[in-house]
Amino acid sequence: MPKPELKLVGVETQTSAVSLKGFQAWFGETCVVQDMTLELPANGVTCIVGPSGSGKSTLLRGLNRINEDISGYAMKGQVLIQDSCAKDGFKDITELRAKVGMVFQRPCVFPCSIKDNVLFGVKNKRLSKLERAALVEESLKSAALWKEVAHRLDSPASTLSLGQQQRLCIARTLAVKPDILLLDEPTASVDPTSARALETLIKNLKDDYTIIMVTHDIRQTRRIADNVLFLCDGQVIEMGSTDHMFSKTAKPKTKTYLSEEFCDC
């Protein structure tokens, strides 16, 4: 019998940005994400939490099909991005990834200037010099980096601090004008001050973008999430509003994980 759809607990009905229908993911013979049917709301921040190896990154990377570059990976079921199937509802994978941008745990800047990093995803677009300059400024401003780099746009991106590099990666993703931002532990490799700056940035972006973010930091989840998806061992244990998950849940596993960061399943 098919599983019932998992709706968010503790929130009004919201428009979905992403729907999963019977989504499963394997590496070789091992099923690492098991039969997920759920909807992630548009706008706001959904934090995906759970122990190491629980399938958070695999799920996140399944949304813009980055896993498919890995040999041995296989998936079943459907991923819908704003009602379009991620597999065949877009002209090509570039169109999907323009709609669903991704930022990784370690900042991955390209060996070129700050400006060219921002423009990387639009280099095949016909834009005038003025339009390019405006896009660089707008994207860097949205990523809260403009003030720090406006005077050195032609410097190599590798000369930025790690926290700045992570904001540059966000600017590069925003320049493509996605609707959905996937962030996989975006603050994990930066210092606490940069992490807080990134949290502020994420909060400022959430009215304009749907942000789906993996984090191990439960206090960070409490500070910035609107909704929380708790995974363990490839399965959804519970999903709901931040208030529900931290204060009202009746599920012992959720209570234990969100208070003690421990799960015994």
Ligand X SMILES: Nc1ncnc2c1ncn2[C@@H]1O[C@H](COP(=O)(O)OP(=O)(O)OP(=O)(O)O)[C@@H](O)[C@H]1O
Q: For the residues of 117-133, what is the DSSP string, one character each?
A: HHHGGGTTS---HHHHH
Please count the other Cβ atoms lying within 10 Å of the Cβ belonging to residue 130: 8
Q: Does 70 bind ligand X (CB under 6 A)?
A: yes
Q: Does 215 bind ligand X (CB under 6 A)?
A: no
Q: What does the CA dihedral 247, 250, 251, 253 come to, rounded to 10 degrees?
A: 50
Q: In whole angstroms, give the CA distance from residue 171 to residue 169.
A: 5
Write out the H or E segment, with its range, that includes residue 265: none
Which region, judged by CB under 5 A, interacts with Mg ion, from 55-63, 170-178, 194-202, 246-254?
55-63
Which region, judged by CB under 6 A, interacts with ligand X, from 54-62, 76-84, 94-102, 171-179?
54-62
Q: Does 55 bind ligand X (CB under 6 A)?
A: yes
CB nearer Mg ion, residue 114 or residue 198: 198
CB nearer Mg ion, residue 28 or residue 53: 53
Q: In whole angstroms, give the CA distance from residue 65 to residue 25.
A: 11
Smallest distance, ligand X to C-beta of residue 205, A: 22
Q: Are 116 and 110 in contact (CB under 8 A)?
A: yes
Which region, judged by CB under 6 A, interacts with ligand X, from 50-58, 119-127, 163-171, 197-205?
50-58
Q: Does 65 bind ligand X (CB under 6 A)?
A: no
Which region, judged by CB under 6 A, interacts with ligand X, from 46-54, 80-88, 146-154, 159-167?
46-54
| Given 23, 56, 109, 171, the residue binding ligand X (CB under 6 A) | 56
Q: Which residues does 210 contact at the CB level (< 8 Å), separation at least 6? A: 17, 18, 40, 41, 42, 43, 44, 46, 179, 180, 181
The binding site for ligand X (CB under 6 A) comprises: 27, 32, 50, 52-58, 70, 72
